[in-house]
Amino acid sequence: MAFRLKLVPDETHFNFFRWQWLTFGISAAAMVLSLVAVLVMGLNFGIDFKGGTTIRTESATKFDVGEYRNALDGMGLSDVSITEVFDPSFGANKHVAMIRIGTQDATGSVTPDELNKIEAALKVVDPQVAFTAVESVGPKVSGELIMTAVYAVGAATIAIMFYIWLRFEWQFALGAVVSIVHDVLLTIGIFAVLQLKFDLSTIAALLTTLGYSVNDTVVVFDRLRENLIKSKTEPLIDVMNRTVNETLSRTVMTAVTTALALGAMMIFGGDVIRGFVFAMLWGVFVGAYSTVYVAKNIVLWLGVKRDWSKPDPKEKVDEIPAAFRDGP
């Protein structure tokens, strides 16, 4: 007999609505706290959104960030930030630092002459230092990238809402949009709290997370519609609870298998894609939670059409000519 891994039993009877007000309250509080964290602490924008120059250095010897900073003092550079990059894949002879320099002029980047002076100053304290990558973004371009990112997330949300509205009912669309907003705010909030670099790769992770979350939500909604057609008299809360239990195995298995792949990328993928992978990994678990505890609560409170096999009685009345509606 073949072995089958079961993270969830074939039949479950969990009452997901037992603490519906508590779970939704926790979600609402998390959304508010995430918004407060973004407004108070701010996001650690990368070079894509902030403008300026980022220099990635490598050295075979251990270096001191303070010595790097002292070496660059007095060169007239604005908003210099130096951080050491740690990665399990780095060997004992690989030490990496990221140097960020704010916008210098209209172009936003340091000149080749300034770049040579920076390298010469660092070689005084670390003769083995080498520049492996240099990226520059102007202030105008960075501002355009911020607006493009906002438009991309907004357009994706509207398109998803419109699709679910056409596929199901407006109540389902509203529930899906609330869960999407929940996922986006919590992801941005954790980046603000941990001060992780927020750049274009993070936006790509956000858009991917939206697709993952909506896919999970649509699976639950589709099963819910089937169960509503089969059980026209059963209370809505019981039908929804049974629906979530029926799709729970699929939800958990999808989240776990996706998390395993992302976990491998987090450990072995290097620091370059770590922000992207972290946003994806966080979004997988937040998306699974919002599907079960956010989207379905909205649909339950709004109510849905119970029978899709025939039109509403109101629609039938509208089809009757006005002269024949009122009988003798």
| Domain boundaries defined on the chain | 20-44+141-302, 52-137
pLDDT-derived band at 4, boundaries 50, 70, 90: low
Determine whether 78 is exposed, middle or buried from the number of CB atoms within 10 Å of its CB (0-12, 13-18, 19+): exposed
pLDDT-derived band at 138, boundaries 50, 70, 90: low
Q: Which of 290, 271, 95 is nearest to 212 (CA)?
A: 290
| pLDDT of 8 | 67
Residue type, position 178, single letter? V
Q: Across residues 233-260, what is the average pLDDT?
A: 84
Record the tokens describing residue 76, joined without a space: 């007239």
Q: Which of 53, 64, 82 is nearest to 126 (CA)?
A: 64
> How many other C-beta atoms can be found within 10 angstroms of the C-beta atom of residue 73?
10
Residue type, position 83, single letter? T
| pLDDT of 310 | 56
Q: Across residues 74-100, what is the average pLDDT?
A: 76
32 has a pLDDT exceeding 90:
yes
| pLDDT of 323 | 46
pLDDT-derived band at 67, boundaries 50, 70, 90: confident
Sign (positive/negative) of CA torsion 267, 268, 274, 276? negative
Buried/exposed code over 85-98 (b: 16+ C-beta within 10 A; e: otherwise): beeeeeeeeebbbb
Cβ 291 vs Cβ 217: under 8 Å: yes
Q: Across residues 245-260, what is the average pLDDT?
A: 85
State how far the Cα of 299 lies from the Cα of 222, in Å rounded to an integer: 13
Determine whether 284 is exposed, middle or buried from the number of CB atoms within 10 Å of its CB (0-12, 13-18, 19+): buried
256 has a pLDDT exceeding 80:
yes
Q: Across residues 181-210, what is the average pLDDT?
A: 86
Cβ 44 vs Cβ 195: under 8 Å: yes
Domain 20-44+141-302: homologous superfamily in CATH: Multidrug efflux transporter AcrB transmembrane domain (1.20.1640.10)
52-137 adopts what CATH topology?
A: Alpha-Beta Plaits (3.30.70)
278 has a pLDDT exceeding 80:
yes
Of all residues in the chain, the percent with pLDDT exceeding 70 is 82
What is the maximum span of the chain, computed from C-alpha positions, in angstroms? 103
| pLDDT of 302 | 81
